[in-house]
Amino acid sequence: MADAIHPVVEISPSHALARLKVNGHGMAAESVRFTGRGKIQNHFRAPMHMLVMYEKGERRDGETFVDGLPRSTLRNLERKLTFVPAGLEFFDWHELRGSQMRLMYFYFEPNKLSGLSNPGLARYSVAPRLLFEDDTLCHTALKLKTLVDGPAADPLYFNSLGTLLIHELVRFTFGLPSIKPQLQGGLAPWQQRLVTAYIREHVNERIPIRILAQLVRLSPHHFCRVFKQSLGMPPHRYQTNQRVEHAKLLLASRSDSMTEVGRALGFNSRNAFATAFRKVTGIAPADYRRSLDSRMTEE
């Protein structure tokens, strides 16, 4: 395809992987499959943005690093994403637990990303994000992976999906709400509004499933199924994610200790809070607070 984008992630050893790359207009997508048993290292720094999507993979040991953020040693990388703005350094290494790891690298010219953003957001710089989750981005990324892995990529379809991925990345980066598909058989709109509002209002509690199910007049079993169908994750995981997002606000705006922040959100101990926070974000709450402090110092 036109407009070939040359810089790619440096991966070693090169014999332990398979790489397929498709170039489009202002972007490229690369499908990578690791099959080796030893240590795998990846490094990237270039004048373009990069999005990493881990389709499958669990590491026995390793860490991931992006300039400006604490290192993460998260083990289960399945459906995690990392965003690396142009010019920042990305490095990670893995010793795999299973037989293989599959992931995608998406490369974007900076003017492609800024050209599709709201003009009112142009003055803001994009920030790096490390091992986060977003179902909307993953859904589009997996479509592109199927296209790249196929026998012949349709250029028009590839560029259309790439543009869609950039739009969704811009919306996520600037905190705009994602447009999620309406799935038949999920929660009705009134049920979703009611249950998510209740979870937000009781963010410092672990709400039993039966209570949430009663709110929307469903059995606990049926509620769990339709909740996951509508929101992309089980109720307990959604609750934990909401508590961690609220914890980020407390860590940024308070000088309370980690134990006090965890207690304010209903965690039984500092260790329980740190474990939940690390599982969602890939980093410990203390490292998150230090990263905020360092950013404020730089500004």
pLDDT tens column, 29-78? 999 988 767 888 999 999 999 999 998 888 889 999 999 888 888 888 88
Task: Give 196's pLDDT tier (boundaries 50, 70, 90).
Answer: very high
Find the radius of gyration of the CA atoms of the chain.
20
Residues 236-282: pLDDT tens digits?
Answer: 989 998 998 888 888 887 678 888 888 888 888 888 898 888 888 77
Which of 98-107, 199-208, 281-290 has maximum average pLDDT? 199-208
Residues 15 and 12: their CA atoms lie apart, in Å, by 8
* Residue linked to tokens 């909401």: 242
Taking 90 as the threshold, does the pLDDT of residue 213 lie above it?
yes
Enter the DSSP assignment of 177. P
| Alpha-carbon gap, residue 41 to 113, rounded angstroms | 27
Is the per-residue pLDDT at 192 higher than 50?
Answer: yes
Q: How many CB atoms lie within 10 A of CB 249?
A: 10
pLDDT, tens digit, 9 for 90 and up, residues 150-186: 877 788 888 899 889 988 888 777 666 555 554 456 8
Q: Tell which residue, 83, 133, 72, 142, has the closest CA to residue 108.
A: 83
**Domain definitions of the chain by residue range:** 10-173, 189-298
The pTM of the full predicted model, rounded to 2 decimals, is 0.64
Instruction: Compute the average pLDDT of residues 276-291.
Output: 82
Residue 122 to residue 184: CA distance in whole angstroms: 37
Give the separation between CA 151 and CA 149, rounded to whole angstroms. Answer: 7
8 to 19, 37, 51, 88, 203: CA distances (angstroms)? 11, 23, 12, 14, 42
Mean pLDDT check: name the lowest of 90-94, 126-130, 137-141: 126-130
Question: How far is CA 160 from its chain centroid?
Answer: 22
Residue 220 or 176, more confident = 220
Please report the pLDDT score of residue 210 as a whole number: 93
Percent of the chain, pLDDT > 70? Answer: 86
Q: What per-residue confidence (pLDDT) applies to 89?
A: 95
Superfamily of domain 10-173: Jelly Rolls (2.60.120.10)
For the domain made up of 189-298, the CATH class stated in words is mainly alpha
pLDDT of residue 184: 56
